[in-house]
Chains A and B, each alone.
Chain A
């Protein structure tokens, strides 16, 4: 039984269920099959009974009736004398006889097939047949007499019929038939009794099967229940034991391959985890106790003694020794020992490489001995003296150098727990050793440092001086950043100044040349002019001098060509004349010119007028260029200007902005669309105008750089409450979202080396802070806006 249950326990839950279902199904099948079989048998018996016995009885009864009909028809013949009636009766008689013969024939055929019919019954039927044959012979004789139709023969017939012999044959045949029918009846009854017996048997069998099935199911169910309950109970009690802290119990059933096995394995995993935790807990507790003990030590020898006396009982180590490795002397000194009776027994000094302890210093790995030689040290205990079974020689390593060696000997090999504790406390020991060493060293140092303190005092004074210098530099930094920005501008500004200077220089040369050419020839030329020529000269010169050229080069070219075409047929070298006239701005009254050129001094007159107009043009050019250069110089001057006083001045924000824009004009004019939008009636504000200029310079410089000097630069200045709000918007590549928070930090730059030092926006922020204002930036690719708010009436104003 126990075997079966343990076999069951190993089965999968699904297999157990399958077995139960299959068992129930088999019993049901058996009961069903039995019922079907019995029903079929009963039905067969009923059919056979009906076919054989009841059919036989019915045939016998029919034969009896036909026999009766024969005798009654014969009597009918005797009772009438009418030949017709007699004939009718005779016919009935013949019919009844042949019917009788048919029935008897049927009985014979059926008897042959019926296995219940005995030979006796066949014989009985034959005997009856003989009697009947006799009777029918008598009947035939009587009928023949009656057929003679005379009273005498009639009387003879009646006599024969009434003879006792005649009647006796018939009666004994009839009796025989009745008896035969009775025999069949008995057989039929027997069949019925048979059926009843079978059905009763079936009933009993079914009951037995059901009882077996039910008790089997119940028994199996019980078995399954036990096979599930028992391992569960075992596992539950294991878990309870584990929970109670008995971690070393064996968890059963883990070898099972079913659900129970899985559960048992899981519990084993938990058990392992709990064991590890317990070890950790043990290690932690003892490690901290050892650590606390070690902290009380004042020197290394005391430390070693305290360490060993704490550690050895925990490890069950009978003997232990701790050596300190003296790096300078290249030797190991015994610091403390545990379990040694006499100091003499133990080596006081070891050289690295000698003995296991010395070897451990060189190898820097633990040496574990399990089969100790006879001459190894002995452990003395209350039980006497014996050789330890296990020894461990462990290096104490701190920061990659060996501080010492610990030797431990025990009767038992160290388990996981002990090794874990060692792993935990050895670094602590080495650290503690190091700390104590350091403390001793520190004490030495302390004396030295007191001396150094005096030095430091001197240094502090020097530092203070440096601090002052730094502060001075901070101020200088702003100025130098300003100059750096200016440096970026210089190339553009040079062009801005060079262009007008070039124009001035060339115009001046031209003027000089023209004057040289004309001054000497003018008086004689004038003298040679007729009155008309003089008038023409004055008129042409007037026209030219009053002309202001607003045409583009292309328009001028087209007009000149038109002139050239008009003059083509009138004069020689129309191109040159047209060019001269175009330069002079004379496009009308050509007839007058043509007439002039036809006079003797015509060409000279025109040439002189041209040269004089060129003089005027040169002077105009010089004026325009001078203005332009002056504007740039003024902008530069106001940019670089440094107000020595710390006081704020009342100034226009837009004026400063325009100064900066002037300096950037050259970089802006080519590919940048500048949209300036200054609100009217902006109040002046108290500010440091130079420093604000530096803000605008930085912001505009960054904007232009962000869009590679191509795109749109929009500058809005408006009043917003108590503030002047300045927005500088560019269509450049934008600021990276992650850089956005950092752009105002010092030395943050996204520019390539040499392009910017990362101080620009930092200084901008400092300047705005100094104005109690604020600066903000919104940026996405294609649209970056720096918004500066400056208070109109700063409370911290001068």
Chain B
């Protein structure tokens, strides 16, 4: 089964752009899953886990209705510490970013508006990191 990259953002246009960019960069090597808010994301990740899917990277916005990005990433990191977390936001305050770095082992913080090249580069590095870590484990 293909590994999964998850994106979370409350703006549909952002999700669409992300997916298009990821798909064009990584093609059919990964499955791309989109979620519009924190609780949707948690539900999705639980489902994927039960199906035995391997989640590599999760990219999340910060300011969303309900659960904020840092809380979501911390919660996911608590359950699935292997998943690499990236925050993508135009508004997150420094405190929340530090919070996420400390408690969700945040891998990168990307500022909106983002450059495709940079984001794809970050995700590429994240994937490599994930692979090397999991090989070490094996």
Contact = CB atoms under 8 A, between A and B. Distances in A.
Interface of A: 491, 494-495, 498-503, 505-507, 509-510, 513-514, 552-554, 556-557, 573, 575-576, 579, 583, 614, 617-618, 621, 624-625, 669-671
A617 B20 CA distance: 10
Consensus secondary structure, chain A interface = helix
Contacts of A498: 90, 112-113
Interface string B1-31: 0100000000111111111110110001001
Interface of B: 2, 11-21, 23-24, 28, 31-36, 40, 43-44, 63-65, 90-91, 112-114, 116
Contact of A579 (B15, B32, B44): B32
B16 to A, nearest CB: 6
Contacts of A501: 113
21 contacts: A491-B91, A495-B63, A495-B112, A498-B112, A499-B90, A500-B13, A502-B14, A502-B90, A503-B17, A505-B113, A509-B116, A510-B21, A552-B36, A554-B43, A557-B33, A575-B28, A579-B23, A583-B19, A583-B23, A617-B16, A670-B65
Nearest to A511: B20
Given A503-B17, A670-B64, 9 more contacts: A494-B90, A498-B112, A499-B90, A509-B21, A553-B36, A579-B31, A583-B19, A621-B16, A624-B13
Contacts of B35: 553-554
Contacts of A671: 65
Contacts of B116: 506, 509
A506 B91 contact: no
Contacts of A509: 21, 116
Contact of A503 (B13, B34, B40): B13
Contacts of B114: 502
Given A499-B112, A552-B36, A507 B17 contact: yes
Contacts of A505: 113
A549 to B, nearest CB: 8
Nearest to A670: B65
B27 to A, nearest CB: 8
Contacts of B12: 553
A532 B36 CA distance: 40
Contacts of A583: 19, 23
B34 A502 contact: no
Contacts of A618: 20
A583 B32 CA distance: 11
Nearest to B10: A670
Contacts of B16: 503, 617, 621
B86 to A, nearest CB: 16
B13 A669 contact: no
A507 B113 CA distance: 12
B51 to A, nearest CB: 10
Contacts of A573: 28
A614 B36 contact: no
A510 B20 contact: yes
Contacts of B36: 552-554
Contacts of B90: 494-495, 498-499, 502
A498 B36 CA distance: 19
Contacts of A506: 17-18, 20-21, 116
A582 to B, nearest CB: 10
A554 B41 CA distance: 9
Nearest to A517: B24
A498 B13 CA distance: 12
A503 B2 CA distance: 28
Nearest to B18: A506
Contacts of A499: 11, 13-14, 90, 112
A510 B13 contact: no
A557 B33 CA distance: 7
A495 B11 CA distance: 12
B96 to A, nearest CB: 14
A585 to B, nearest CB: 12
Given A494-B90, A625-B13, A557 B34 contact: yes
B63 A621 contact: no
Contacts of B20: 506-507, 510, 614, 617-618
Contacts of A624: 13
